[in-house]
Amino acid sequence: MVVNPTVEYEPEQVEAFDFRMAMEEASRCLLCEDAPCKYGCPSGTAPDQFIRSIRFKNVNGAAEIIRENNILGASCALICPHEKLCEAACSRCGIDSPIQIGKLQQFATEYERKMDKTYLSQTDTYSGKSVACIGAGPASLACAAELSKQGVDVTIFDEHSQPGGMLRYEIPPYRLPETVVDHDISQLEKLGVKFELNHKVTSEELEQMKEKYDGVFVGVGTWEAKTLNIPGSNLDGIFPAIDFLSKARENKESYSSLGNVVIIGGGDVAMDSAATCKLLGADSIYDVFVESLEHAPATQKEKMYDFQMGIPLISEFMPVAFIGDEKVERVRFEHVTNGSTMELEADTVILAVGQTTRDEAEAWKQAAGIFTGGDMVNGGDTVVQAVAEGKEAAAKMMNTFNE
Extract the residue ranges of the chain whose pLDDT is less than 70: 1-14, 251-256
Q: What is the pLDDT of residue 7?
A: 40
CA dihedral sign of residues 268, 273, 278, 282: negative
Q: What is the pLDDT of residue 82?
A: 93
CA dihedral sign of residues 160, 161, 167, 173: negative
Beta-carbon contacts of 158 under 8 Å, excluding residues fewer than 6 positions away, are 134, 135, 136, 165, 195, 196, 197, 199
Give the full edge-to-edge strand order of the sheet including 238-240.
238-240, 348-351, 260-264, 284-289, 313-315
Q: What is the pLDDT of residue 117?
A: 86
Q: What is the pLDDT of residue 210?
A: 95
Q: What is the pLDDT of residue 10?
A: 46
Q: What is the pLDDT of residue 13?
A: 52
Nearest to 138 by CA among 94, 173, 169: 169
Q: What is the pLDDT of residue 92?
A: 95
Q: What is the pLDDT of residue 360?
A: 77
Q: Name 314's bridge partners.
A: 288
The three-state secondary structure class of 322 is: strand
CA angle 189, 370, 142 (to 5 degrees): 30
Buried b (16+ CB within 10 A) or exposed e, 27-52: ebbeeeeebebbebbbbebbbbbbbb
Distances (CA, A) of 237 to 12, 74, 227: 29, 36, 14
Domains annotated for the chain, with CATH where assigned, are 19-114 (1.10.1060.10), 130-222+357-401 (3.50.50.60), 225-355 (3.50.50.60)
Q: Hey, what amino acid is at 363?
A: A
Q: Hey, what amino acid is at 340?
A: S
Q: What is the pLDDT of residue 3?
A: 39
Buried b (16+ CB within 10 A) or exposed e, 191-217: bebebeeeeebeeeebeebbeebbbbb
Q: Cα–Cα distance between 357 and 367 in angstroms, integer?
A: 15
Q: Are the C-beta atoms of 323 and 329 separated by less than 8 Å?
A: yes
Beta-carbon contacts of 262 under 8 Å, excluding residues fewer than 6 positions away, are 285, 286, 288, 331, 344, 346, 348, 349, 350
